[in-house]
Structure 1
Amino acid sequence: MYIPEYFQMETDFIYQSIEENPFSILVSNHQGEMIATHLPLLLSENKQTLVGHFAKPNPQGLSNGKEVLSIFSGPHCYISPSWYETERAVPTWNFTAVHVKGILNIVKDPLKIHESLLNLIKRFEAKDSKYKIDSVDSNYIEGLKKGIVPFEIKITNMEGKQKLSQNHSVERRNLVISNLELLPGENEKAIASLMRKDLNQ
């Protein structure tokens, strides 16, 4: 990923971005063809691996021992030049994104597989949810497990980009923030918040 120095994301924010935007695009090379899967990936507690699973028929399940690329997209939005203090400007797009490379390894340990599935449910199910996987018929769960390919990705490289108008003046960045905060979209408000936080550092 091309990252000018002023758009470089710090390591702590890379981890935060992965945790806040876990639905990723996992890319690998299969028989000379680039293929991708959209799926959630969780960062391990020690921040050394990403954990997830494929549907068994997915050809990416054959990527055992191979390098893969995981792409995590954060908030993003259009930036109008009409918000600037000058007419000598063009449109652009502000965004955050993280790329993680690593070696994919298929997990076969039943305990690790079960733990990874529990962690997914714990991460995404509402705290007051009535759903409890322990109350689901165990034979049904074991049958479903046969239809997935659990894996871990040993992280070898991470890079993050946060393009938040850092290459513009403080005056212009404040104008952009003010205009984004007037818009109803969640992405626009999230980018405005990140821009304000970056200005206040």
Structure 2
Amino acid sequence: MYIPKHFQLNDEEMINEFIEQYSFATLFSQHNGEPYATHLPLTFNKDEHALYGHFARPNEQWRDTGNQQVLAVFHGPHCYISPSWYETPVAVPTWNYVSVHVYGRLERIEDQEIIVNSLHEMVNKYEKANSSYQLNEVDAKFMEGMTKAIVAFKINITKIEAKAKLSQNHPVERQELVIQQLESSSEHNDLQIASLMKKNLDKSR
């Protein structure tokens, strides 16, 4: 990923939180000689420095991922930044965003206990605390059939790149003007970017 120095995100704790929060990723690999991508949730095991997930078995991307490095892209908030918000007309439009790229080697999981545990972890992550749904209450035969319909995997992470493009290349006064404009918006992405920009400014002061 192209990352100018002032946009590089090195805070490991922030990167880990980002992967946890924006865990619906895009997984890229080469399949049949062409780039191929699948959109899927991934759970992050910090202790193992690994990602867990699963393909639908009919999705043939899994067939040739074992011999190559894959890339998981975690997409965060993003929004358009208008030059009309600046104190000068000598400016151009841009886009603010946060993104994390995780590279690693993918290995398929055959152990049923590990597969079931990873499914439990995923369900527990996304179900609300007061949800009536419990994976361990699902009919055992139905569950067995469902696990046969997926291909579980683990990605052993080899490299992480993170980018937070939050107008850091502009003067503080201009960043504050952008934050004001974004905070006046009702768009969720705008508000998230404004919040991240404020946190970044506070750290730099």
TM-score class, shorter: over 0.9
Q: Which residue of 2 aligns with 1:154?
A: 156
Q: Which residue of 2 aligns with 1:5?
A: 5
**CA-CA distance at 1:12 after TM superposition:** 2.2
Percent of counterpart pairs with the same letter? Answer: 49
**CA-CA distance at 1:47 after TM superposition:** 5.1
Q: Which residue of 2 aligns with 1:125?
A: 127
Q: Which residue of 1 aligns with 2:23?
A: 22
Instruction: Give per-residue Cα distances to partners, 1:40-79, cap 9 Å, x unaligned.
Output: 0111141510100000011111112421000011000000
RMSD of Structure 2 on Structure 1 (CA)? 0.9
Q: Distance in 2 between matches of 1:33 and 1:89?
A: 39
Count of aligned pairs between the two proteins: 201
Q: Distance in 1 between matches of 2:62 and 2:89?
A: 52
1:135 partner amino acid = E
Q: Distance in 2 between matches of 1:74 and 1:47?
A: 23
Instruction: Give per-residue Cα distances to partners, 1:2-42, cap 9 Å, x unaligned.
Output: 00010001222221111110000000011211110000011
Q: Which residue of 2 aligns with 1:90?
A: 92
Q: Which residue of 2 aligns with 1:31?
A: 32
Q: Which residue of 2 aligns with 1:69?
A: 71
Structure 1 contact 74–96 (Cα < 8 Å) conserved: yes
Q: Match of 2:95, SS?
A: strand
2:43 partner amino acid = L
Q: Which residue of 1 aligns with 2:193?
A: 191
Q: Distance in 1 between matches of 2:54 and 2:167?
A: 36
Q: Distance in 2 between matches of 1:113 and 1:2?
A: 35
TM-score, normalising length: structure 1 = 0.98
- Following superposition, which runs of at least 4 residues in structure 1 exceed 2 angstroms of deviation? none
Ranges in structure 1 where 5+ consecutive residues have no aligned partner:
none
Q: Distance in 2 between matches of 1:45 and 1:141?
A: 27
Q: Match of 2:25, SS?
A: strand
Q: Match of 2:159, SS?
A: strand
Structure 1 contact 50–155 (Cα < 8 Å) conserved: yes
Q: Distance in 2 between matches of 1:25 and 1:68?
A: 10
Q: Which residue of 2 aligns with 1:105?
A: 107
TM-score, normalising length: structure 2 = 0.96
Q: Which residue of 1 aligns with 2:181?
A: 179
Q: Distance in 1 between matches of 2:7 and 2:46?
A: 27
1:155 partner amino acid = I
Q: Which residue of 2 aligns with 1:80?
A: 82
Instruction: Give per-residue Cα distances to partners, 1:115-157, cap 9 Å, x unaligned.
Output: 0000000000011001112221111001110000000000000
Confirm whether residue 168 of structure 1 aligns to residue 173 of structure 2: no
